[in-house]
Amino acid sequence: DGEPGGTAGVLPPAGPIRVRCLRADILGLKVFGLRAALSTEGGALVLRDGAILTGDPGAPPSRLDGAFRFDPGAYAFESDGAGRLDPNRLGELLRRVGEPGIADEIAKFEFPGEPPAVRARWRYAPERNVRELRLDLESGPARYNGVPVSGFSGTVLVDGDGGWRRVAVEDLHVVRPEGAVDGRLELATREGLLRFRAESTMDPLRVVALVGVLDAADELPVALDNPSRATASGVLDLDAGTTAGGATDIRVEASCPGLVAAGLRFENLTGTMSITNGVLSAPDIDGKCFGGDVAGSLRLELGGARTFSAAAAPASVAAFTAPTSPRTITVTRPPPTCSLPTSWTFA
């Protein structure tokens, strides 16, 4: 303070100074390698032509190249960079700026190999109510919610008024060996609601586990052929802790080439499905079974009874009761559907 050309409490313009650092902590972001051209401007610390390395020892490192500006007086920063970054490296930083929920969501990602490629733009100035984060991501093999995927890409947008209130993922593209999911989602952190819309050719059991719509999706009493096709949209209540309650309201239109349930094989299935008030229901399922038409409905009380009701064509009914294998039955002209409702309840 008091130096010629300076102002009390404000650093005078200075630099640039070439900096190399082996260890640093930037708002909780652990850095084990940093180089930059360091200067001060208007009391802010400015790093240009920077490179930051972060990660765990022995793991593929995350590296960002770009610029960073930090104003200690206003506790504000902005950065622009590109490189490879494991989003989990931002967890502690997010907790320090008051967003543990977003950090917990990011923690569902696992990257066993190289971190995803990223372009990042971050603006944080709480005194001016500025909170903006944009991440353009592209990844190879990864896991989310324990589900392995071959790769994904998308744009993550985080912003809010008075807090980091909204997390959106635009142009989401997720790939697995059997298919892909394309769509968008938006997390309202204050309400604890996840809104989404997506089109999928991925195994539906993997999709519900990926999104977290159902607990223990592998325990559903069905096996499906792929590619199954679905268009889904709705709201998932994250604060309810389970799909058995809260504001969850999900609608799905789907088709499936084959499904096995209760030991019976159904083919060319189409139908709609909803999850609301703790109940998964599919009121209008149509398909084929053992050469005949089948129309029915499915109702799963999440955590309770599972019931399937159907009206089947006579050829299907004969197949159910034939002493020989149903696969030997050939139907050249499907007979008219008759009303023979049958229901099964699974414990």
* Residue 231 confidence (pLDDT): 93
* Residue 286 confidence (pLDDT): 92
Strands 14-21 and 179-188: unpaired
Task: Please tell me what DSSP assigns to residue 10.
Answer: B
Contacts of 281 (CB under 8 A, 6+ apart): 273, 274, 275, 297, 298, 299, 300
Backbone dihedral angles phi then psi of residue 186, each to the nearest 5 degrees: -140, 125
Q: Do the beta carbons of residue 152 and residue 137 sit within 8 Å?
A: yes
* Residue 338 confidence (pLDDT): 38
Give the pTM: 0.71
* Residue 119 confidence (pLDDT): 94
pLDDT < 70 regions, the chain: 1-15, 56-57, 163-164, 212-221, 240-245, 302-347
Q: How would you class 200 by CB atoms within 10 Å of its CB: exposed for 0-12, middle for 13-18, buried for 19 or more? A: buried
What is the distance between the alpha carbons of residues 312 and 336, in angstroms, rounded to a whole number? 10
Contacts of 276 (CB under 8 A, 6+ apart): 248, 249, 250
